Amino acid sequence: MARPVDPNAQFRIKTHTSNGHTYASTQPPILDPLTGVKKYRHVHWGTLDENLKFTPNSPFYEATPEERAKLIFPDNWDMSLAEKFTGLKNHEWPNFCSNCMNRLYGDVWLLENIANITGIRQDLLTVFDNNYEIVDDIVTLAIFPYLTQFNYNRIADWQEIVKAPSQRRLTPYIVTRITQYITEQHRIELLGLRAARLEIDELCAIDSTTRSAYGDCLVDIRWGKNKDMLPLKQTMEVVVYTLSSHMPVYYRTFPGNMNDARSLDIILKDLEQAGFKDLVLVTDRGYETVNNLNKFILRGQSIVMCTKTSNKEVANIIMELGDIGTRPETMKVDHDTDIYYKQYDIDHEIKGADSTIKSSNKLKLNLFFNSFNRAKDQLVLDKEKSNQEDELNELFKNKTEVDARTIKNEFCYYTVTINPKTRTIESFDIDKQKVSKAIKASGFFSIMTHGIDFDAMKTYHTYHLRDEQEKYFQQMKDQMGSDRQRNSSEDGKTGRLFILFVSLILGSYVRHIWKSTELKKLFPSSLAILDAMRPIRCIEQPNMEKLITPFVGNQLDICKEFGIKVPDGCAPTYPRKELKNKRGRSCKKYFQKG
């Protein structure tokens, strides 16, 4: 009878002597790709002296916590050095926990507290089974580009002068290992935890942006024209951003050539799987199609969706208004915005998958008219017609060969006749019907709502909250330094997007507090808040507890507005004097003797 196979054999540490040195090693099996024969190789995890004291080496330090946990050491070995240096860089490098450091800490301290306030740190601990080491690594990778605008090649040097959450030296190799460790399952679990923190009927703006990518190894970058006119491939990144809690709650990447309308079905299924319920989605014109509207109605999804004036229902209503002159007679005017408005109830029925007819729930069309934009739109229309006419005259006189499809796309306000044999322009004339429609639609814009009881102006103000999401994309590309993708593998891309999502949660909260409190009067930008906190240092010396330098001036105001308690011993011992409007020093008080 054959001896049973030990499933932990490849993880048991044994001694291996080579060149007079005794190594602690394992012998994992590998398959020869050519012959298919199983072989065994020695992996050295450290050295062993005559007193059975184990000294770890580089492979041991650079292994993930899960890999180190699998190793089975003999019970009689001295593992004190392994316990002392686990998770840290090689002891030949500067040691981050040697209690002999004087490093910058203020901005990191603020973001660590924000990670606790927003709940993202607790969510990460839940996703990674309370693995504090990997969570500290992820938080460090998330705050580094936000604080420095550098890529990860500099993070190890940055850790020398800044006290970061991670206690090990994050070399490029370690960063790659961390990003490849994060999987799609981690992403779904995190989104589910973030969804549980949302309120009922939370307003969420959904939009996409493109990001250029270095290299050509990623699958999603093989298609699509770069919108920034750069000689780089690109991907499309979709983000759902809450307009009440002011932070991202969902993200996903798509191929660079996929438009917004086609990606909606996957996004809705993703949101449902992650546990998002009772959301009110705010979308722009990119998601407005009849097919998508039907999907919203079938799902019972509440929406605020900007629609094109070329939409059949919108165009019919504008035509019914007739010749409006300077303003429409039947529309009311809002005194705060100087915009005319009117709300229409829309009846829309669709056939479901089981052949049943489903009616829309409170489907309303909100039509708006801006008299200033009407004059501007008609001026742009006249200039466009003039430019098209000049170009057509030039092509006609020179008898230039043209392409019928190109002519139709570029000269939309003219009907052009092309000779099929010579491929030259025979004649052209203004398309009066198309010009008339453009004139009538000038100055109008429309927003459709479903499943909610918003009047026209509340719908207008709700949709304009989307401007905050545009600031979010600007923050991602500028402040986070993430306008380019620098990874070259699919698993690395998954991890980097995960970390970027964590980073943007922290950055969005900083920006929201800056905009909504007195800090906006004290600092020109949200980054200036971090700059003000940066001089605070953490001093670690032998035989002394960790010391954080005092908080002074605006640093106290920052802590107050963020609702964060100043560390013990760092607050001033005297009450702060309130600023008075009167300039100069106060007068001395004289007392009469007697």
In a domain, 402, yes or no: yes
With 60 as the cut, is the pLDDT of residue 591 above it?
A: no
With 90 as the cut, is the pLDDT of residue 343 above it?
A: yes
What confidence score (pLDDT) does residue 593 get? 41
What confidence score (pLDDT) does residue 94 get? 40
More confidently predicted of 87 and 402: 402
What is the three-class DSSP state of 444?
A: strand
Q: Which of 49, 66, 85 is the last residue of a domain?
A: 85
Quick one: how far is CA 123 from the chain centroid? 17
What confidence score (pLDDT) does residue 106 get? 95
CA distances from 201 to 153, 228, 299, 301, 472 (A): 42, 36, 15, 11, 21
For tokens 């700059």, the residue is 531
Query: What digits encode the pLDDT tens for the residues 401-436?
Result: 988 888 888 898 999 999 888 889 989 999 998 898
What is the three-class DSSP state of 536?
A: coil
Of 468, 466, 498, 474, nearest to 253 by C-alpha is 498
In a domain, 551, yes or no: no
> Looking at residues 39-55, what average pLDDT do you find?
88
Are 473 and 358 in contact by the 8 Å Cβ rule? The answer is: no
In a domain, 44, yes or no: yes
Strand partners, 210: 236
In a domain, 122, yes or no: no
> Looking at residues 462-484, what average pLDDT do you find?
79
Residues across the chain: 594
With 50 as the cut, is the pLDDT of residue 589 above it?
A: no
- What pTM, to 2 d.p., does this model score? 0.74
Average pLDDT, the chain: 85
pLDDT confidence tier of residue 548, bands split at 50, 70 and 90: very high
Q: Which of 441, 465, 492 is the last residue of a domain?
A: 441
More confidently predicted of 253 and 94: 253
pLDDT confidence tier of residue 91, bands split at 50, 70 and 90: very low
Among left, alpha and beta (phi > 0; psi -120 to 50; other), residue 150 is beta
What confidence score (pLDDT) does residue 211 get? 85
- Over pLDDT 70: what percentage of the chain? 92
What confidence score (pLDDT) does residue 584 get? 59
With 70 as the cut, is the pLDDT of residue 585 above it?
A: no
What confidence score (pLDDT) does residue 218 get? 80
What confidence score (pLDDT) does residue 348 get? 80
> Looking at residues 390-395, what average pLDDT do you find?
92
In a domain, 118, yes or no: no
With 70 as the cut, is the pLDDT of residue 522 above it?
A: yes
In a domain, 114, yes or no: no
For tokens 């049943």, the residue is 356
With 70 as the cut, is the pLDDT of residue 325 above it?
A: yes
pLDDT confidence tier of residue 216, bands split at 50, 70 and 90: confident
What confidence score (pLDDT) does residue 170 get? 94
Query: What digits encode the pLDDT tens for the residues 241-270?
Result: 998 888 899 999 888 888 888 888 899 888
Of 497, 494, 505, nearest to 181 by C-alpha is 494
* Total domains present in the chain: 2
Are 174 and 67 in contact by the 8 Å Cβ rule? The answer is: no
What confidence score (pLDDT) does residue 594 get? 37
Q: Which of 85, 109, 141 is the last residue of a domain?
A: 85
* CA-angle at 270, arms to 265 and 272, nearest 5°: 100
What confidence score (pLDDT) does residue 235 get? 84
pLDDT confidence tier of residue 156, bands split at 50, 70 and 90: very high
Q: Find the domain containing 383 and state its range.
A: 374-441
- Over pLDDT 90: what percentage of the chain? 41
Listed ranges 45-59, 106-120, 454-468; the one with the highest mean pLDDT: 106-120
What is the three-class DSSP state of 416?
A: strand
pLDDT confidence tier of residue 21, bands split at 50, 70 and 90: confident
With 70 as the cut, is the pLDDT of residue 92 above it?
A: no
> Looking at residues 122-142, what average pLDDT do you find?
95
Query: What digits encode the pLDDT tens for the residues 562-581?
Result: 999 999 889 887 665 555 55
CA distances from 67 to 57, 364, 454 (A): 14, 57, 55
All residues at 6 or more sequence positions from 319 whose CB lies less than 8 Å from its CB, including other chains? 440
> Looking at residues 146-154, what average pLDDT do you find?
90
pLDDT confidence tier of residue 210, bands split at 50, 70 and 90: confident
pLDDT confidence tier of residue 549, bands split at 50, 70 and 90: very high
Three-state SS sequence of 260-316:
HHHHHHHHHHHHHHHCCCCCEEEECHHHCCHHHHHHHHHHCCEEEEEECCCCHHHHH
pLDDT confidence tier of residue 504, bands split at 50, 70 and 90: very high
> Looking at residues 282-299, what average pLDDT do you find?
86
With 60 as the cut, is the pLDDT of residue 97 above it?
A: no
Quick one: how far is CA 271 from the chain centroid? 16
What confidence score (pLDDT) does residue 139 get? 97
In a domain, 162, yes or no: no
What confidence score (pLDDT) does residue 470 get? 75
Are 129 and 558 in contact by the 8 Å Cβ rule? The answer is: no
In a domain, 321, yes or no: no
